[in-house]
């Protein structure tokens, strides 16, 4: 086992006196003789000795300051960070690398590097790449095309501003003028009658940079019959224009095989059709009837699952074009990188969940598997559409009272109707002099004077000529009424779903799959769901982890398949890993067919509460079921 320099230096930096060799040996699980050899190696690798030794043990050399000591690979202390560095090293060379070089560079043990290599293997499997191992040597195996797919994904995950920051990173080693290349690509596409959105342009630019960089290092794309067929596409002519201009900028002569490869990227990230004027009836000549029919099936399934109003023809045209392009990308082994994936998932989890439903349906209907970035693109389209559509709730009802004076109320009433057309229905408009406040049964009464209206939820007092403050007061009243109505609906469902027998405090499992299986088994034994339910939840988890930030996970099935709806709740003091996050609150959700219609209200209301870190903290401090249920009720009702 090789030296764990970081551990030795940390122990010595924290000590105020000499540290015995036996203490260091115990910390590393080695002998004192091994410690002596490792200290010698640490000192030999430094310009001046870092560690002093004597019969009393070891200590930092007096010339050393703890803050200036070398740390674990410049802060690469997590498995993800070490795996990233290893992969960068492997992909930037054709020669096998020694794992012992990695242990020395990263200051960790052989076993740690072996675990990191397993992590690397998992991360490259999607790109049809593998690690070859011969004794202590390891190398990256696979085609140049697949290596470029991996590099493009890694580059896209980096800082979006310019590419000078990649210098020396092991992915892209030159500085490139990203905005200039993007403009060049956009102009070349336009000359060939092609267009790409911002994400498509970004993807093409990244691939062009990867082409240039790989060629700089003598790693060119080989001739390929499949790539040769791209010479018959409009994308090939655009690629030739781009490469003829970009080659001199990069100081290289881009050969035909590289142009054909770029043409493939262009065809997967652009279209000859201007979808801003898309109409469903015209799509067949551009994307084919099969993709149109697939899209209709997917959208109809989504409407049924989430009780959505039918999507309009304009949206169906746009999403059909997106799905067509997405299928092209994936069939060519190219996945678009969405820089907003994490934000969409955390900010709009319900919309993202709809994207996961579509991804699962697409897998079943067409055997196409999507990653999180492609799912987030679908969610992006859905969110933009649904934001303009009907809200989850009904309108608030209102009675407008006024002082009858030369029809002054007419213009004020028109102003209110225009401002709150989507959220407020004015059922009656009455002069104040003839109304009986006791009979005003509605959500909101708008009145020029304070009155007692016991059958109304809110009374908003306004000026005869409405001010901006008056309009804001009306808006707040409308928001409050609708939020309370939604909260009442949501908690009515939650109170039926939750049960003290499904509440667990400090209930732990080895991983998220084990937790899901344990909770689902309890629910199956209670007769709430069938044995197949657990696999449905695990299948949803494979699409994208159901941890939505703030230490919360809500695992659930993509279908309403349980005998009775339920929420199985776990509240833990110690967080557990869930995907890439840590969670302390887990809510396994089961939905029956009878409750399917209320799913959006329930899920959205839950997430409204759980998106607030302070509220999550309060919930995780609950020691009993009654305490948890009471706090959740107050939060949903806005108390």
Pairing of strands 130-134, 137-141: antiparallel
Helix and strand counts by DSSP (H, E) for the chain:
25, 13
For residues 423 and 482, the answer to whether their CB atoms sit within 8 Å is: yes
The confidence score (pLDDT) of residue 229 equals 65
Helix H segments across 220-340? 225-228, 234-250, 256-269, 284-287, 289-306, 313-331
Residue closest to 142 by CA, chosen among 106, 100, 186, 90: 90
| Grouped pLDDT means (10 residues each) for the chain, 639 residues | 64 82 76 77 76 82 56 51 83 84 79 88 85 91 84 61 34 64 87 81 82 79 66 80 78 80 80 54 64 90 82 83 81 70 78 89 89 87 71 74 78 90 88 86 92 91 90 90 77 83 94 94 93 93 85 88 91 90 92 81 78 87 92 78
How far the first Cα of the chain sits from its last, in Å, is 59
Residues 6 or more apart in contact with residue 414 via CB below 8 angstroms = none
**406 Rama sector, left if φ>0, alpha if ψ -120 to 50, beta otherwise:** left
Confidence (pTM): 0.55
CB-based burial, 426-453: b 16+ in 10 Å, e otherwise: beeebeeeebebeebebbbbbbbeebeb
How far apart CA 59 and CA 115 sit, in angstroms, is: 31
The confidence score (pLDDT) of residue 221 equals 77
CB-based burial, 309-334: b 16+ in 10 Å, e otherwise: eebeeebbbbbbbbbbbbbbbbebbb
The confidence score (pLDDT) of residue 217 equals 73
The confidence score (pLDDT) of residue 538 equals 94
How far apart CA 321 and CA 286 sit, in angstroms, is: 9
The confidence score (pLDDT) of residue 155 equals 66
Residue position matching structure tokens 């994490």: 342
The confidence score (pLDDT) of residue 628 equals 93
């Amino acid at each position: 086992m090789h030296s764990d320099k970081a551990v030795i230096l940390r122990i010595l930096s924290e000590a105020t006196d000499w540290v015995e060799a036996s203490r260091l040996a115990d910390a590393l699980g080695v002998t004192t003789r091994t410690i002596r050899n490792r200290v010698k190696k640490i000192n030999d690798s430094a310009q001046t000795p870092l560690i002093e030794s004597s019969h009393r043990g070891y200590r930092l050399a007096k010339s050393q300051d703890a803050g200036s000591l070398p740390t674990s690979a410049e802060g690469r202390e997590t498995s993800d960070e070490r795996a990233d560095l290893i992969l960068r090293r492997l992909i930037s060379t054709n020669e096998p690398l020694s794992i012992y070089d990695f242990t020395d560079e990263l200051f960790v043990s052989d076993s740690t590097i072996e675990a990191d290599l397993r992590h690397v293997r998992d991360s490259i499997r999607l790109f049809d790449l593998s690690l070859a191992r011969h004794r202590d040597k390891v190398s990256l195996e696979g085609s140049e095309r697949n290596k470029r797919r991996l590099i493009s994904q890694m580059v896209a995950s980096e800082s979006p501003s310019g590419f000078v920051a990649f210098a020396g990173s092991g992915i892209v080693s030159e500085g490139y003028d990203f905005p200039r290349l993007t403009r060049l690509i956009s102009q070349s596409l336009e000359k060939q009658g092609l267009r790409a959105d911002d994400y498509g342009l970004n993807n093409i630019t990244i691939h062009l940079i990867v082409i240039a960089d790989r060629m700089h290092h003598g790693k060119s794309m080989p001739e390929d019959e499949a790539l040769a067929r791209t010479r018959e596409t409009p994308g090939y002519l655009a690629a030739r224009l781009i490469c003829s201009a970009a080659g001199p900028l990069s100081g290289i002569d881009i050969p035909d095989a590289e142009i054909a490869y770029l043409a493939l990227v262009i065809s997967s990230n652009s279209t000859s059709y201007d979808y801003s004027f898309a109409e469903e009836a015209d799509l067949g000549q551009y994307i084919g009837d099969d993709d149109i029919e697939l899209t209709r099936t997917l959208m109809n399934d989504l409407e049924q699952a989430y009780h959505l109003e039918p999507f309009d023809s304009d949206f169906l045209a746009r999403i059909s074009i997106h799905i067509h392009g997405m299928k092209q990308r994936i069939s060519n082994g190219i996945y678009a990188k969405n820089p907003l994936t994490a934000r969409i998932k955390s900010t709009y989890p319900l919309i993202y969940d709809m994207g996961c439903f579509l991804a699962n349906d697409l897998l079943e209907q067409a055997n196409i598997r999507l990653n999180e970035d492609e799912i987030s693109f679908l969610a992006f389209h859905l969110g933009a559409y649904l934001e303009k559509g009907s809200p989850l709730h009904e309108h608030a009802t209102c009675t407008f009272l006024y002082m009858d004076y030369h029809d002054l109320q007419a213009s004020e009433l028109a102003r209110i109707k225009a401002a709150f057309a989507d959220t407020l229905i004015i059922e009656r408009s009455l002069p104040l002099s003839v109304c009986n406040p006791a009979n005003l049964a509605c959500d909101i009464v708008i009145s020029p004077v304070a009155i007692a209206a016991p059958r109304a939820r809110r009374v908003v007092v306004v000026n005869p000529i409405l001010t901006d403050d008056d309009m804001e007061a009306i808006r707040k009243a409308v928001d409050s009424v609708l939020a309370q109505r939604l909260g009442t609906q949501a908690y009515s469902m939650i109170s039926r779903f939750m049960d003290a027998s499904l509440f667990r405090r400090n209930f732990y499992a080895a991983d998220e799959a084990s937790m899901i299986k344990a909770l689902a088994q309890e629910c199956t034994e209670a007769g709430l769901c069938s044995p197949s339910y657990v696999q449905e939840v695990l299948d949803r988890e494979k699409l994208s982890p159901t941890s939505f930030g703030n230490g919360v996970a809500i695992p659930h099935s993509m279908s309403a398949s349980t005998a009775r709806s339920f929420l199985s709740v776990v509240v833990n003091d110690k967080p557990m890993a869930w995907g890439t996050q840590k969670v302390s609150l887990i809510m396994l959700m089961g939905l029956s067919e009878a409750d399917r219609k209320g799913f959006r209200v329930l899920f959205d209301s839950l997430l409204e509460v759980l998106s607030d870190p302070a509220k999550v903290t309060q919930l995780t401090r609950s020691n009993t079921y009654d305490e948890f249920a009471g706090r959740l009720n107050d939060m949903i009702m806005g108390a």
